[in-house]
Structure 1
Amino acid sequence: MSRSGAEGERVLGIDPGTRVLGYGVVEGNGRGEPRLVAVGSFRVERAGEGYASLLAIRRCVCALVEWYAPGVVAIEAPFLGKNAQSMLKLGRAQGVAIAALVELGLDVQEYAPRKVKMSLTGCGDASKEQVKGMLSNMYPAEGIMELKDLDSTDALAVAMCHYHSGRTVGRTGKGSWGEFVAKHPDRVRG
């Protein structure tokens, strides 16, 4: 198992949503900041309403794993919002993404939005635009400021947060869905 930030370690960051699924991929180079491999988003809302979009999320997540072969996946954890209906929909999107990743045998780590913002900007209350600006400063030649949506930069920020967290690939413990499934097979159906 390699230490987070080690050369060759690839981290896939995901910002799951009901309309847009953002992703960012970084790879350790053994010298501080990781190399940016990919950043972008999928418009899952085009798949249709309701459960069709959940299937689209699963397909997107599986495709990302196939294309980029990450060693670990960092995903943005749910946050408490004012609109209960929106939170339920977002929870479904996150659940589908996590279930697909666990089914593929990947280590999944969750990070609260506040922790992600703190790790990149030094301020847990930073705006999405401030996070995007910081990432643009880190990768000036990558055209991050030209990205149209903030979901892709949010996902890249989650990947960077994990990269700098010092967690190891395959780590078990708090936040590891793989460990939960291994410890509680009776609570997992399928």
Structure 2
Amino acid sequence: MSRSGAEGERVLGIDPGTRVLGYGVVEGNGCGEPRLVAVGSFRVERAGEGYASLLAIRRCVCALVEWYAPGVVAIEAPFLGKNAQSMLKLGRAQGVAIAALVELGLDVQEYAPRKVKMSLTGCGDASKEQVKGMLSSMYPAEGIMELKDFDSTDALAVAVCHYHSGRAVGRTGRGSWGEFVAKHPDRVRG
């Protein structure tokens, strides 16, 4: 896993959707808040029927990696919504994005939406507007409040979350069993 907050570390945050793919790129400066490199979104082209839009998502992700050369990519984990069909489509979009990133050899870290909100606002139940407001206060000269969609601010939020925490979903504050055994061989029997 990439160390968070390292000077020069570039983090690409992605919020892949079936219609809009949001992205945010931050770079470590060695202390404090990361420097904002880029934030925006792509409209995913609806090229005919079937799965052509998934190919468009893959192309967008590959282009972002080529343009910004991140050291790590942070992506928001899917949340269970009320509409199963929407959840399935979102899962496909995220799967395509993650597969493209792994194929490119990048470290991909996934964060729960609640963790991202907590990291930025101090409240895991914060609204998208509150997250956007916090990002705007962190980057006042960057026009965050003028962004038309939440996809770009969601992506930027997950990048900033990774920069500050570097802890992936599913990991506890105690680390892995492998780390424990390596640090405490005297406490393991067998």
Change (3 A) 1:30 1:132: same
Alpha carbons 1:71, 1:169 under 8 Å: kept: no
Change (3 A) 1:54 1:38: same
For the aligned residues, what is the CA RMSD?
Answer: 6.9
Q: TM-score, normalised to structure 2's length?
A: 0.86
Alpha carbons 1:173, 1:179 under 8 Å: kept: no
SS of residue in 2 equivalent to 1:47: coil
Structure whose CA Rg is larger: 2
Identical-residue share of aligned pairs (%): 97
Alpha carbons 2:2, 2:107 under 8 Å: kept: no
Alpha carbons 2:111, 2:168 under 8 Å: kept: no
Instruction: Identify which range, 108-117 or 180-189, moves more after superposition.
Output: 180-189
Q: Tell me the alpha carbon deviations over residues 55-95 of structure 1, each in whole angstroms, 9 at most, x when there is no partner.
A: 00000000000000000000011100000000000000000
SS of residue in 2 equivalent to 1:126: coil
Q: TM-score, normalised to structure 1's length?
A: 0.86
| Alpha-carbon distance in structure 1 between the residues aligned to 2:9 and 2:111 | 18
Alpha carbons 2:75, 2:110 under 8 Å: kept: yes
How is 1:1-190 mapped onto 2 (pairs within 5 angstroms)?
Answer: 3-167=3-167
| Alpha-carbon distance in structure 1 between the residues aligned to 2:40 and 2:17 | 13
Displacement after TM superposition at 1:31 (Å): 1.8
| Alpha-carbon distance in structure 1 between the residues aligned to 2:123 and 2:62 | 33
Q: Tell me the alpha carbon deviations over residues 134-185 of structure 1, each in whole angstroms, 9 at most, x when there is no partner.
A: 0000000000000001100000000000000145999999999999999999
Alpha carbons 1:107, 1:177 under 8 Å: kept: no
Q: Tell me the alpha carbon deviations over residues 95-123 of structure 1, each in whole angstroms, 9 at most, x when there is no partner.
A: 00000000000000000111100100011
| Alpha-carbon distance in structure 2 between the residues aligned to 1:65 and 1:97 | 11
Q: Tell me the alpha carbon deviations over residues 7-53 of structure 1, each in whole angstroms, 9 at most, x when there is no partner.
A: 10000000010000000000000121000000000000444443111
Alpha carbons 1:71, 1:106 under 8 Å: kept: yes
Segments of 5+ residues of structure 2 without an aligned counterpart are none
Displacement after TM superposition at 1:4 (Å): 1.0
Change (3 A) 1:32 1:43: same
Change (3 A) 1:79 1:66: same
